[in-house]
Structure 1
């Protein structure tokens, strides 16, 4: 994987370098061809260059019956360019001169003209260009010498076949050298670029294998990626710890609930075996007592199973709310009355209050009643018999409703306060006679959330607990 990433970056960088080098070479060759073939281009020469001036100066030479002369414009051009002029006839004799240096010859042989053109005359300190003037069937040659020491002329003589061969060799050499240099640079660059990627790939593999102890220093161009990988590792580590905690809690809860179900089942089985045994002769009253115990234990098991079913359906969104407009005061009042009508809790002190006689709200009355009953039951079974429990219903702002179940009993330890709505959680103050599924408050919380409501709890040890439902 590492070499594959490195190879891809390496190939891309080398390809780019080669393409750029090839394009540059084409541009240089094209420029060279253009420079040597174009008759009028800004690179090779300009209109005011020495060669161009010499070629066009014939227009400034004037022949007349009185003799030869140059125009005023021609004289001005020569003076501005620090140049002198000699006009020669067919025999190489000077027939006209302008600002000719004293050291200049007055008669030139063809070889003298060639030497003067090819090489800078040290005696004249001039670079000489040659032109031709034709008039009335006569041909004149003229020399223009530029006394500009910065002006130089180089004459090249070359064989085009050798030039082509040298260009080919040079081009291949440049491509080869550039390719090697590009290969080295691209390799170093690719290694630097792909090394963090290889580290990232390895880190993701570690996360996939549930090794969440991954942490990288965030730097270079991949610092954001490293930061996100570190953050992902932290979140996965926290999720894994939470999952293990929930699994442990679930195992403890299953063990407890299994024990709680086995106890009533053992009673049901025992009494049923006694009632079936022919060796026992029970009276009608004893049979009714045993039947009552069996019924009570069966109802307990039934309630536990119903809690499990309802909790699963609520958590998995598998229940549809049967919404209807109900009087919340009547709903909560009936929950309080049912609790007081239970023979086990008939002597409890439950005080019911409301802000209005009629408070209408669109809810699923069966589920909301179950949530309120669970809160009242929780306050009853976790406190002493003489503890007062206050249940209040009030209308607040618009059509919002607040239901509060408050007691001044034992309270809930701070370390348990954030977990009381968790599934499978049982508080430390649950009495042996009131053990159930442990899902009462979790079910109440899920019911309220299904109605898009909120449920909050406040508690202090030895000061009491207040649980509020806001719909």
Structure 2
């Protein structure tokens, strides 16, 4: 999978995770808001609370009951009371409970609402909690009913009833059958008449109690001015949503910071590491960034990429290849510099020998202190000519190697019969009386072999290889030159001798510049660049050369060129 697809799948996965996370966050937010709304509603009405709320606010130690301060505050504010019983009906604790027996409390149905819960407390016992909520308006309506003159259509409140109403900050209205107010007490902004819908709305409110006289069809309304009613829930819900919004903003801000840190680690850190890697390459340090233990930062101990770097696998692979290439080039450059220095050093050494000879014989010839004979003069001239020819050959070969290296050698290929060009080269050496101590054989291919070659430079290839086989082997050496066809696509030229062979060191350095396998002080013809030139020329023809040798058994040179 390429880096484009990897990024696509990665971000698609991130999108899915983000949607799931946002969904979970929204559900959590609504659950939190619901909890907050419930908490606010409990502050107005304890009767809607769950048993878990009371279990967390009540502690029982044997027969001692302790109510937490938060619960006691709510009970006081809501004009209620608490009492706890065992499952056997034995009361063990209470708060603000009226001084009456249980039977009396349960019979008092007009002025108090009762709610109960089973509490599961840490002592592994179950208790029953009763919460009673007093409604003063329901109690007051009992007293008001006894003071009304129904036949006269007016209130006739006793002093005791009025005191009770003042204490509770209550009001009362007497309505006729049409809903018109005929008498009232303690009213402030209450209307003078009520429609049927208004009366229905009043009956749904906790702070207003009603009673209808069946005979006269008159109605009593008793209400409390300062009593908290259900509309306060709107304020509670708004408060809960406000709190939830603040929590959501805080969560989102925290998530933004965490997401920033995560993305910086997920995307930024790998990019910074690769930028450091590129900086190392520009500074000539051809290796991956390392940690304090000199181990690559991006790799595990088992050599595999760490998870946060896998997204950039293709890029890291390319950087690794570039690093290896640059490192290889650096090593090759150092080797070339060292080889060039050795080459120049050896070349200078070999040039000094013929130059010394030329200079010495030249001084001898120009000396006036001695008269040389014609024979001596001819001998000196021959030596000077021989040394000059050696220097010329050395410089020509040096120039040729540089032209081949820089691909500046003009080559003109033509269709050539290979048996013929090899045969002419072999006959040239067979007819040379100077090397009559060697046995040279030619084994042509049975048929015609044609290849696209440059005859001039291919002749040079054959000359170099045969010259080495002749000059570096002792008398009596047998040299065999043969041609073969490989599946009609390749031509193989083999030059095999049974001479002294070469050791491993000589074989390894055979194709290095300026290496002849002999001492530089030995007066052997040749520049030491022959095999280097041979290899370069063979490769220029699209072929290859391979040399195998065993000391004391001989050498085999195999050259392959395409048909």
TM-score when normalising by structure 2: 0.52
Please state how far the C-alpha of 1:344 moved relative to its aligned partner.
Answer: 5.0
RMSD: 4.2
In the TM superposition, what are the counterparts of 1:195-214 in structure 2 within 5 Å? 195-212=269-286, 214=288
Describe the shift of the 1:321–1:414 C-alpha distance in structure 2 as closer, same or farther (beyond 3 A).
same
The reply to whether residue 459 of structure 1 matches residue 549 of structure 2 is yes
**Contact 2:350/2:520 (CA < 8 Å) preserved in 1?**
no
Structure with greater Cα Rg: 2
State the SS of the aligned residue for 2:546. strand
Q: Distance in 2 between matches of 1:236 and 1:321?
A: 32
Tell me what 1:82 maps to: none
**Contact 1:260/1:435 (CA < 8 Å) preserved in 2?**
no
Tell me what 2:331 maps to: 241
State the SS of the aligned residue for 2:523. helix
The reply to whether residue 220 of structure 1 matches residue 307 of structure 2 is yes
Q: Deviations over 1:104-133 (max 9, x none)?
A: xxxx944432245678xxxxxxxxxxxxxx
State the SS of the aligned residue for 2:363. helix
Tell me what 1:114 maps to: 201
Please state how far the C-alpha of 1:335 moved relative to its aligned partner.
Answer: 2.5
The reply to whether residue 420 of structure 1 matches residue 510 of structure 2 is yes
Between the two structures, name the one with larger relative contact order (CA 8 Å, sep ≥ 6): 1
Describe the shift of the 1:416–1:118 C-alpha distance in structure 2 as closer, same or farther (beyond 3 A).
farther
The reply to whether residue 442 of structure 1 matches residue 516 of structure 2 is no
Q: Distance in 2 between matches of 1:208 and 1:221?
A: 25
Tell me what 1:301 maps to: 391
**Contact 1:264/1:301 (CA < 8 Å) preserved in 2?**
yes
In the TM superposition, what are the counterparts of 1:164-183 in structure 2 within 5 Å? 178-179=252-253, 181-183=255-257
Describe the shift of the 1:221–1:424 C-alpha distance in structure 2 as closer, same or farther (beyond 3 A).
farther
**Contact 2:473/2:500 (CA < 8 Å) preserved in 1?**
yes
Residue in structure 2 matching 1:311, options 387, 401, 412? 401
State the SS of the aligned residue for 2:476. coil
Tell me what 2:261 maps to: 187
State the SS of the aligned residue for 2:537. helix
State the SS of the aligned residue for 2:513. coil
Q: Distance in 2 between matches of 1:362 and 1:397?
A: 17
Tell me what 2:380 maps to: 290
Describe the shift of the 1:436–1:156 C-alpha distance in structure 2 as closer, same or farther (beyond 3 A).
farther
Q: Distance in 1 between matches of 2:308 and 2:266?
A: 11
**Contact 2:401/2:533 (CA < 8 Å) preserved in 1?**
yes
Q: Deviations over 1:113-155 (max 9, x none)?
A: 2245678xxxxxxxxxxxxxxxxxxxxxxxxxxxxxxxxxx97
The reply to whether residue 366 of structure 1 matches residue 456 of structure 2 is yes
In the TM superposition, what are the counterparts of 1:15-164 in structure 2 within 5 Å? 109-115=196-202
The reply to whether residue 327 of structure 1 matches residue 417 of structure 2 is yes
Q: Distance in 1 between matches of 2:466 and 2:547?
A: 13
Tell me what 1:59 maps to: none
State the SS of the aligned residue for 2:352. helix
The reply to whether residue 348 of structure 1 matches residue 435 of structure 2 is no
Q: How many residues align?
A: 340
TM-score when normalising by structure 1: 0.61
Describe the shift of the 1:294–1:221 C-alpha distance in structure 2 as closer, same or farther (beyond 3 A).
same
Q: Distance in 2 between matches of 1:319 and 1:433?
A: 30
**Contact 1:260/1:436 (CA < 8 Å) preserved in 2?**
no
State the SS of the aligned residue for 1:185. helix
User: Which segments of 5 or more consecutive residues in structure 2 lack a partner in the other structure?
Assistant: 1-13, 30-176, 180-194, 207-229, 291-295, 300-304
Q: Distance in 1 between matches of 2:396 and 2:377?
A: 28
**Contact 2:390/2:525 (CA < 8 Å) preserved in 1?**
no
Q: Distance in 2 between matches of 1:267 and 1:110?
A: 139
Please state how far the C-alpha of 1:371 moved relative to its aligned partner.
Answer: 0.4
**Contact 1:382/1:431 (CA < 8 Å) preserved in 2?**
no
